[in-house]
Amino acid sequence: MDYMKEYERWMMDDQLNPELKQELELIMNQDKEIEDRFYQFLEFGTAGLRGIMGAGTNRVNEYTVRKVAQGLSQYIAGQGEKAKRKGVVIAYDSRHKSPDFAREAGLVLAKNGIKVYVFEGVRPSPELSFAVRYLNATAGIVITASHNPPEYNGFKVYGPDGGQITTELADAITAEIASVPDELKVRAAYMSWAQEKGLFEWIGEDVDEAYQAKLRTLATQPKEYNKDYKVVYTPLHGTGNQPVRRLLADLGFNHIFVIPEQEHPDPNFSTVRSPNPEEYDAFKLAIEAAEKWGADIIIGTDSDADRVGVVVRDEKGRFAMLNGNQLGALLLEYILSQRAQKGDLPPNSVVIKSIVTSEIGKAIATLYGVEAMNTLIGFKYISEKIKQFEETKEKTFIFGYEESNGYLVGDFCRDKDAVQACMVVAEMGAYYKRRGLTLHQALLRLFERVGSFKEETVSITLKGIEGRHKINHIMEQLRKESPTSLAGISVIDCKDYMQGIEGLPKSNVLKFFLEDGSWFAARPSGTEPKIKFYFGVKGTSLRDSQTKLDKLKKNTLALFFGKS
């Protein structure tokens, strides 16, 4: 794209939103800024699109949203009248302009004769996944940027099974989006007309009730066991407040303290740097409240409530964060042990995790005679496997998770679900407390059984065109000049997932295996201008594994950045 011509095209449009027009006028003589906003159309991939809001083809705004909605409309129209009648469900989170973008997307679909169901207020992404299945819709949309900072928003698309779209489907929709000649000329229906024609319908309470009913089926302990367990919960200004509190209360948790400053939707996420429950800093207010209140556990969810973070008391009684792998290990052990006790663990049971998720999952599954299966990074791949096994009956899905704090227990959703995860985490905490253990102590006991696993993910942000070139160079360098040793340990194998290995689709991920059982992986983020490095080790003790991890991380990052 000729970024200056694109800039001029937008500037010359008489109908351009005045707010966006003023934004473009302010950067009139800033070549780099114009280039960054117009050098491409915001990329649409298997996770939809995500980016900074503002004016430009490389930004999230009403015009880029309309273009994507038009492309999706064309794809659905190509599937026939039945697909159009079954329609599309749309949800949105608490971010700036999320309600507006949801409405615009819905009215573009309606203009194309496609039925839309739009939630009347903020809802979690997993409830959208549930709603697509519950309403037997053709597709779903969530307007969200998940845990990104407040200047971001996004457009995430789900298929008819309630899972995020497959690579094949994303490619087909991308081709339709590319065929839309001018995002500024895409037209949306008038609301009055769309509702009169029965093409635009608001939804809410009925779907909420059905979703909550399914969530309650995941409980494994009597309600009275939960009544004394003290939970501090924070939705981090996002969508989780009502569904999480309602579920916990229904399951007998009488002591739930919600952080007042973070209770209600706030598009500025004004009390945190980022609404990311993977980060300890996001829990500052919650930890202060938990100390005063004498809480047993702290639980937090991100903007669209698909990721959950947990903070527990350590051996000294201080609050410490569980990382995504540790929490996943605890959940897996708890779920398998409870089902095994009840004789409810089928012989063809399977646990599904990503290729960069800790190998402790395989070790735990082995204890119970359960298969642990790896997929590519991205929960849609777990969803694809669930769908496959549902159709073939070859295996019975038990639990799916990723190191990035995404978990799924009940397959009535087909995306990671922090609402159900909050419930299982709280129930698990109450279960161990009745046995005189904190979750931290339960984790240490688990390490004694399967080994001291330790992992860490390092994300390096590299923005703009130069950043993209740097990320590409790092991946090329790793492929051409793979390290032969790190931290004094020989590298004995490398898996390049761009080659379509292990029966998985091609993906730009490299994973290296060291002689001592350690490993690291590298991949560009699919939704942010970042490259991610994943590290995993297994030691003879917590101290030994931490030492191994620190050395591996330092030596690997030094290859590209000169320091760790």
Residue-wise pLDDT tens digits, 432-461: 999 999 999 999 999 999 999 999 999 999
- Same fold across 40-207 and 452-561: no
Residue 1 has pLDDT above 90, yes or no: no
Given this model, what pLDDT does residue 165 score? 93
Q: For residues 227 and 223, give the distance between their C-alpha atoms in angstroms, rounded to a whole number.
A: 7
Catalytic residue among 73, 98, 125, 146: 146
Residue-wise pLDDT tens digits, 70-101: 999 999 999 999 999 999 999 999 999 999 99
Contact partners, residue 402, CB within 8 Å, separation at least 6: 324, 328, 353, 354, 356, 357, 377, 379, 382, 416
Q: For residues 291 and 199, give the distance between their C-alpha atoms in angstroms, rounded to a whole number.
A: 51
Residue-wise pLDDT tens digits, 239-277: 999 999 999 999 999 999 999 999 999 999 999 998 999
β-bridge mates for residue 130, sequence order: none
Give the 3-state DSSP-derived string for 390-426, with helices as H, strands as E and coil as C. Answer: HHHCCCEEEEEEECCCEEECCCCCCCCCHHHHHHHHH
Q: For residues 497 and 503, give the distance between their C-alpha atoms in angstroms, rounded to a whole number.
A: 10
Q: How far apart are the first and last CA of the chain?
A: 37
Phi, psi of 158 (to 5 degrees): -120, 145
Given this model, what pLDDT does residue 43 score? 87
CATH class of this structure's domain 452-561: alpha beta
Domain ranges of the chain: 1-37, 40-207, 226-450, 452-561
Residue 54 has pLDDT above 90, yes or no: yes
Given this model, what pLDDT does residue 78 score? 97
**Cβ contact 338:220 at 8 Å:** yes
Q: How confident is the model at residue 148 (pLDDT cuts 50, 70, 90)?
A: confident
Q: How confident is the model at residue 209 (pLDDT cuts 50, 70, 90)?
A: very high
Given this model, what pLDDT does residue 563 score? 55
Residue-wise pLDDT tens digits, 161-185: 999 998 889 999 999 999 999 999 9
Residue 505 has pLDDT above 50, yes or no: yes
Residue 353 has pLDDT above 50, yes or no: yes
Return the number of other C-beta atoms located less than 10 Å from residue 550's C-beta.
Answer: 16
Is 146 catalytic? The answer is yes
Q: For residues 209 and 218, give the distance between their C-alpha atoms in angstroms, rounded to a whole number.
A: 15
Distances (CA, A) of 462 to 468, 507, 518: 7, 20, 27
Average of per-residue pLDDT across 207-227: 97
Q: Which CATH superfamily is domain 226-450 in?
A: Alpha-D-Glucose-1,6-Bisphosphate, subunit A, domain 3 (3.40.120.10)
Fold for domain 40-207? Alpha-D-Glucose-1,6-Bisphosphate; Chain A, domain 3 (3.40.120)
Given this model, what pLDDT does residue 167 score? 85
**Cβ contact 158:415 at 8 Å:** yes
Residue 68 has pLDDT above 60, yes or no: yes
Given this model, what pLDDT does residue 166 score? 86
Q: How confident is the model at residue 564 (pLDDT cuts 50, 70, 90)?
A: very low
Residue-wise pLDDT tens digits, 456-476: 999 999 988 889 899 999 999
Q: Which range has the worst mean pLDDT, 44-48, 77-81, 313-317, 403-407?
A: 44-48
Residue 139 has pLDDT above 60, yes or no: yes
| Both tokens assigned to 552 | 């591996």
What is the distance of C-alpha 111 from the center of its chain? 30
Given this model, what pLDDT does residue 175 score? 96
